[in-house]
């Protein structure tokens, strides 16, 4: 049932229904009762936050290139590619609009956890690494800013360049 | 009339009407005919984009401290303070949700133009400066990312620290 509902949300977003993304519309598309959806998710905002959490968790694989620089470069390029997908932007905008703070946080998925994993691995190798917070500011900050606010998502090459600014030398 | 309509939007957002932010609701609050609003703005998304453009243009003064570092530090701290305002976040989330790409760009207001003005002034003084693009990535990126996506807007001190990472030495 959850998979059918998530698919219905993604289909309706792709059709640019805008304000028409309501629980009854999702229920009709998914072929389930609206009351079932209200019982499980409460509101379209909570439903969107759930879809966003699924979409942005595990969608980018944590690379293992042997160096923090290489890992972050590949990861940043993959996130840039993901954020350039119009369907991803439509999901993020709808979730930001209807999902409140919970929805907004869902749009990050597990990406800060992924940064933490790469940083921990570098430290386990005996290397030095910036904090997760600093790395999120330097990479996720511009990646999300460009995608959401400028209408011109950054390219994979630009994203790799952000890593060189974070880790000079 | 425009001022009354903008005020009505801000009041309704402060009351957390959520999906209730519609053209008829704004018209009723502002005391004007809904048809007038439809004729002028077309949709609630375009109206929100107009409100956001007003709100985020000229709201932060371009400082003139005598150095690019000082200017950017004061400016970043002011933007951080602005983005920590719950009313500002509510306006941004609603505009991102309903306003499409136009609304998203409106949430930046004239902030990149302000960065360009500070950078140009530094060059006129004979100094060197990063590009506007690089400066937006390093400052607006994390400022907007934290405010919108983490639920924990950065502090003014943190924002000043971003400038030191952008302009080392």
Q: Which residue of B has its CA nearest to A48?
A: B97
Cα–Cα distances (Å) from A4 to A18, A29, B22, B82, in that order, read 20, 9, 30, 41
Ranges in chain B annotated CATH 1.10.10: 2-42
Q: Which residue of A has its CA nearest to B94?
A: A97
What's phi and psi for B104, nearest 5 deg? -65, -45
Ranges in chain B annotated CATH 1.10.357.10: 61-166
Q: Is B150 exposed, middle or buried (0-12, 13-18, 19+ CB in 10 A)?
A: middle
As a whole number of angstroms, the distance between CA B65 and CA B78 comes to: 14
Ranges in chain A annotated CATH 1.10.357.10: 62-166
CB contacts of A157 in chain B (<8 Å) are none
CB A12 within 8 A of CB A25: yes
Closest CA to A103 of A34, A140, A51, A27: A51
> What fold characterizes domain B2-42?
Arc Repressor Mutant, subunit A (1.10.10)
What's phi and psi for A19, nearest 5 deg? -65, -10
In three state form, how does the secondary structure of B29-87 look?
Answer: HHCCCHHHHHHHHCCHHHHHHHHHHHHCCCCCCCCCCCCHHHHHHHHHHHHHHHHCCHH
pLDDT by 10s per residue, chain B, length 169:
899 999 999 999 988 776 678 899 999 999 999 999 999 999 999 999 999 999 999 888 899 999 999 999 999 999 999 999 999 999 999 999 888 888 999 999 999 999 999 999 999 999 999 999 999 999 999 999 999 999 899 999 999 999 999 998 7
Q: Which residue of B has its CA nearest to A101?
A: B151
Nearest chain B Cα distance for residue A139, angstroms: 9
CB contacts of A104 in chain B (<8 Å) are 93, 148-151
Instruction: Tell me the average pLDDT of chain B.
Output: 93
A28 contacts: CB under 8 Å, gap ≥ 6: none
Residue stretches of chain A with pLDDT short of 70? 18-19
As a whole number of angstroms, the distance between CA A149 and CA A143 comes to: 10
Indicate yes or no: CB of A104 within 8 angstroms of CB of B149.
Answer: yes
As a whole number of angstroms, the distance between CA B55 and CA B9 comes to: 12
Q: What is the ipTM of this complex?
A: 0.93
In three state form, how does the secondary structure of A45-87 look?
Answer: HHHHHHHHHHHCCCCCCCCCCCCHHHHHHHHHHHHHHHHCCHH
N- to C-terminal Cα separation, chain A: 51
Cα–Cα distances (Å) from B41 to A5, B13, B60, in that order, read 34, 18, 26
Q: Which residue of B has its CA nearest to A166?
A: B165
In three state form, how does the secondary structure of B86-120 look?
Answer: HHHHHHHHHHHHHCHHHHHHHCCCCHHHHHHHHHH
As a whole number of angstroms, the distance between CA B47 and CA B116 comes to: 27
How is domain A62-166 classified at the architecture level of CATH?
A: Orthogonal Bundle (1.10)
Tens digit of pLDDT for each residue in A18-28?
667 889 999 99
CB contacts of B96 in chain A (<8 Å) are 93, 96-97, 148
As a whole number of angstroms, the distance between CA B29 and CA B24 comes to: 9
If you classify domain B61-166 with CATH, what class do you get?
A: mainly alpha
Tens digit of pLDDT for each residue in B32-78?
999 999 999 999 999 999 999 999 998 888 999 999 999 999 999 99
Nearest chain A Cα distance for residue B45, angstroms: 10
């Amino acid at each position: 049932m959850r998979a059918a509902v998530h698919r219905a949300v993604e289909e309706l977003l792709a059709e640019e229904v805008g304000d028409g993304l309501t629980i009854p519309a999702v229920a009709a598309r998914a072929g389930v009762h609206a009351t079932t959806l209200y019982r499980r998710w409460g509101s379209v905002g909570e439903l969107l936050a759930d879809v966003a959490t699924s979409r942005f968790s595990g969608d980018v694989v944590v690379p293992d290139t042997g160096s923090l620089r290489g890992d972050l470069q590949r990861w940043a390029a993959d996130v840039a590619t993901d954020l350039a997908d119009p369907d991803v932007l439509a999901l993020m905008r709808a979730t930001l609009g209807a999902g409140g703070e919970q929805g907004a946080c869902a749009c990050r998925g597990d990406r800060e956890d992924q940064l933490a994993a790469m940083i921990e691995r570098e430290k386990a190798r005996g290397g030095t690494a910036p904090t997760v917070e600093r790395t999120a500011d330097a990479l996720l900050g511009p990646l999300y800013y460009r995608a959401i606010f400028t209408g011109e998502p950054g390219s994979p090459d630009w994203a790799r360049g952000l890593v060189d600014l974070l880790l000079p030398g």
